């Protein structure tokens, strides 16, 4: 229940099942979403982490609305002294991202300990339901159903894809934002099947490079645990994508 308590939201504990959430990836996911301000997130396997994703999307909107207001008042800057303000807002980014972002979460309710069926009700209680689209169905047929206009900024893979990870990648990689979109895979580092899959992409042959284009991978491990202890992140960086440079000084 530790992670449930850390969340600090009544209701998040109702989706907590210690056989599925022994680690702190929910906190990392929440921080990531707060940081990268995604417009569309896909989660495969709904439940506890959905609540963190939804809260982060809601908090993002509140933050972006504040930025937009400051921008409209010409006050969006960091004050250096009384007479000089360093411009802070990236106007286009604020305007584009201020719309309600969406979590598309998919679950077929097949796990006996699933808590996906509680997500809608808790999202309502927490006021984050406008960011939620819950799809109760099998994940493997879902790629064809998600509106083809949707570009995913974050994919959170939290179900047992196991030997079908390659198939998962094939379906969803093309849907990921090529300018830094993230694919985050749960329980990736100390499981033999997932580890083999990750290793293949860490030392890619020409064939993988050709297929996926540029990307980066890293993973984090909670070293004191045997299960539910890690995640790996692929960042897609196609077409020589680079972040913009906004400042020149040291
Ligand atoms: C490890 S749980 C994690 C769920 C959620 N992210 C959480 O934090 O509670 C995996 C979930 O995937 C769902 N699941 C398993 N196989 C699935 C499939 N083929 N399609 C859709 N959902 C599936 C299960 O019902 C279960 O709720």
Residue 109 lies inside a defined structural domain of this protein: yes
Q: CB under 8 Å, gap of 24 or more: what pairs does 178-181 form?
A: 178/213, 178/236, 178/237, 178/238, 178/239, 178/241, 179/236, 179/237, 179/238, 179/241, 180/36, 180/235, 180/236, 180/237, 180/241, 180/243, 181/151, 181/152, 181/153, 181/154, 181/155, 181/235, 181/236
Residue 247 lies in a domain: no
More confident residue, 11 or 55: 55
Task: Specify the pLDDT at position 181.
Answer: 98
Q: Does 9 have pLDDT greater than 70? A: no
User: What's the angle, vertex CA 22, arms to CA 198 and CA 162, rounded to 5?
Assistant: 35
What is the pLDDT at residue 5? 41
Q: Is residue 66 part of a domain?
A: no
Residue nearest atom 3 of ligand 1, based on CA coordinates? 45
Neighbours of 76 (CB within 10 A): 19
Number of separate domains in the chain: 1
Domain region containing 107: 2-58+98-237
Tens of pLDDT, residues 91-150: 999 999 999 999 999 999 999 999 999 999 999 999 999 999 999 999 999 999 999 999
Q: Does residue 196 belong to any structural domain of this protein? A: yes
Q: Which residues contact 124 (CB under 8 A, 6 or more apart)?
A: none
Domain assignment present for residue 206? The answer is: yes
CATH number of the domain encompassing residue 6 = 3.40.50.150
> Given the CA of residue 17, which atom of ligand 1 is nearest to it?
9
Q: Is residue 246 part of a domain?
A: no
What per-residue confidence (pLDDT) applies to 20?
A: 66
Please indicate whether residue 167, judged by its CB atom, sits closer than 6 Å to ligand 1.
Answer: no
pTM for this prediction: 0.93
| pLDDT reading at 3 higher than 70 | no
Indicate whether 70 belongs to any domain.
no
User: 30 CB under 6 A from ligand 1?
Assistant: no
Locate 129 and state its tokens. 């339901």
The string of pLDDT tens digits covering residues 51-89 is 999 999 999 999 999 999 999 999 998 888 888 888 899
- Residue 78: inside a domain, yes or no? no
Gyration radius (Cα) of the chain, Å: 19
Q: Is the CB of 139 under 6 A from ligand 1?
A: yes
Average pLDDT over residues 149-169: 96
């Amino acid at each position: 229940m530790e992670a449930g308590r850390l969340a600090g939201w009544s209701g998040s504990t109702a989706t907590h099942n210690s056989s599925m959430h022994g680690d702190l990836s929910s906190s990392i996911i929440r921080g990531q979403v707060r940081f990268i301000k995604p417009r569309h997130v896909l989660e495969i396997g709904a439940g506890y982490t959905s609540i963190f994703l939804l809260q982060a999307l809601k908090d993002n909107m509140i933050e972006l609305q504040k930025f937009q207001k400051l921008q409209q008042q010409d006050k969006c800057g960091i004050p250096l002294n009384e007479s000089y303000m360093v411009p802070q807002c990236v106007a286009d980014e604020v305007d584009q991202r201020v719309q309600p972002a969406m979590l598309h979460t998919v679950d077929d309710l097949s796990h006996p300990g699933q808590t996906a069926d509680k997500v809608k009700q808790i999202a309502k209680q927490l006021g984050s339901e406008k960011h939620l689209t819950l799809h109760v169905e099998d994940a493997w047929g879902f790629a064809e159903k998600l509106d083809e206009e949707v570009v995913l900024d974050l994919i959170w893979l939290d179900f047992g894809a196991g030997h079908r990870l390659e198939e998962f990648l094939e379906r969803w990689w093309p849907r990921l934002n090529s300018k830094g979109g993230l694919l985050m895979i749960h329980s990736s580092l100390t499981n033999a099947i997932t580890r083999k899959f990750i290793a293949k992409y860490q030392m890619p042959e020409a064939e993988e490079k050709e297929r996926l284009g540029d990307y980066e991978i890293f993973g984090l491990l909670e070293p004191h645990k045997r299960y539910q202890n890690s995640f790996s992140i692929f960042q897609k960086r196609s077409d020589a994508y680079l972040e913009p440079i906004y400042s020149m000084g040291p």
